[in-house]
Amino acid sequence: AVPGVPVTDTVKRVAEIAPGIGRVHETPPREHLRAVQTPQAFAFAPLLAAHRDAANQGLDGFTDDGALAEWAGLPVVVFVGDIANRKITQPADLIEADRAFASDPTETPAPGARAMTAYVTRLGTGFDVHAFTTGDHVWLGGIKIPADRGVLAHSDGDVALHALTDALLGAIADGDIGTHFPPSDERWRGASSDQFLAHACGLVRARGGRIDHLDITVLAEAPRIGQHREAIRA
């Protein structure tokens, strides 16, 4: 089963007579034509067998799995697709998709802002780890949590905010926290990590970006943070 949408353009079957020039042989009626999309659905075993048979015969000209299934004698049906399901084939398709799916094309960027291009959504991930040392508290997600040990770090060692900072910087491909706040710089000794996160947020917004969601996963047996969860979220 493959999704397809009605063809709105008139389609000509041509034979090339010169580079870029074709002589029309036929104009098939549009009501019988569908522009086929993806994803397509198949029973796995028959499709795998069809791929193997075609490979064994040296056939590699199929433009989609539906065509391969037809060649193998499998029944193929077309169900109603979605014109918003855009196919990305040429570089120009990315530009057109960006225009079509911009979250708010009427919004005016801030003065001096440089708009992100060619992407609707960017996703970044961050990871941070610090060793324990002597102390009586740890900072986690901007919250000071009493503990029987501290964290060995140049700044306050807030691994949650460090990971979020790296995620935001990664989303805009602008280095990592060590690039912007090197541990060799004494200005950041014992610094509060919320300023690192604020800096990364500012860089995203300066490029016309909008932060719509942030998530943290903390891997720790101690200290217990359940009672601090809502304060961290806030």
pLDDT at residue 97 in the model: 79
Burial 149-181 (b: 16+ CB within 10 A, else e): ebbebbbbbbbbbbbbbbbbbbbbeeebbeebb
Q: How confident is the model at residue 67 (pLDDT cuts 50, 70, 90)?
A: very high
Regarding predicted confidence, which is higher, 181 or 15?
A: 15
Any domain includes 192: yes
Domains contained in the chain, number: 2
pLDDT at residue 84 in the model: 83
Closest to 47 measured CA to CA, from 30, 28, 70: 70
Instruction: Find the domain containing 199 and state its range.
Output: 132-233
Any domain includes 220: yes
pLDDT at residue 192 in the model: 84
As a whole number of angstroms, the distance between CA 92 and CA 98 comes to 10
The DSSP symbol for 22 reads E
At residue 118, does pLDDT exceed 80?
Answer: no
Of the three residues 39, 62, 80, the one that is the final residue of a domain is 80
Any domain includes 20: yes
Any domain includes 124: no
Of the three residues 80, 101, 124, the one that is the final residue of a domain is 80
SS3 string, 27-39, reads CCCHHHCEEECCC
Helix axes 194-206, 159-171, angle to 10 degrees: 10
**For 46, phi and psi rounded to 5 degrees?**
-65, -35
Same domain (yes/no): 69, 157: no
At residue 227, does pLDDT exceed 50?
Answer: yes
Strand bridging mode 34-36 / 2-6: antiparallel
At residue 133, does pLDDT exceed 50?
Answer: yes
Contacts of 80 (CB under 8 A, 6+ apart): 3, 4, 5
Of 64-73, 110-119, 170-179, the range with the highest mean pLDDT is: 64-73
Same domain (yes/no): 145, 57: no
Q: How confident is the model at residue 102 (pLDDT cuts 50, 70, 90)?
A: low
Contacts of 18 (CB under 8 A, 6+ apart): none
Any domain includes 208: yes
Chain centre to alpha carbon of residue 181: 26
Q: How confident is the model at residue 104 (pLDDT cuts 50, 70, 90)?
A: low
Any domain includes 114: no
Least confident of 101-110, 122-131, 163-172, 219-228: 101-110
Average pLDDT estimate for 195-213: 91
pLDDT at residue 110 in the model: 53
